[in-house]
Amino acid sequence: MVMSPSAQERLFKPEYSKELLQIAEDDGRTAEFLLEGLKLGRIRGENFFFIIPQVLEKTLKSVLVYKKVPVPLVHDLGVLLAKIPRDCEPPFGYEISRLSEFAAVRRYEEGSLIWGEEEAEEALELSNIALNWASALINQKSI
């Protein structure tokens, strides 16, 4: 069955934005540990690159919830970014979309990951920028 985009969205209570942001921050701390494991050669790179889109997805969704925008029930970072209102645009753009591929397909491929430690550090920095942006927005006043 084909559904319209609005049928694939959900409006959450604005209070949920802080809880969702906290989950994103917790995932961000997990990413920091995974980066250390990646540097030591103790984890698969796909595991690190799986958690970063999770951080970004939850961060973007927390802002959508805060702004009372219906949240697309998707994992595509580009779709989520496109829904962010112009009055609170993030300090990054559609370059985050390239990380969406790690949320599903890429993490099941063995040995085909060509991103390394430098890209991992850049991805973690991007997730930290996103978290700081969302935190400043959501925590600027009480809901």
**Per residue in 71-103, pLDDT tens?**
999 999 999 999 999 999 999 998 888 887 765
CA atoms of 66 and 73, how far apart (whole Å): 16
pTM (predicted TM-score): 0.88
| Residues in the chain where the model's pLDDT stays below 50 | 142-143
Amino acid of residue 120 = A
Answer whether CATH 1.10.287.610 is correct for domain 12-135: no
Domain ranges of the chain: 12-135
Judge contact between 55 and 130, C-beta under 8 A: yes
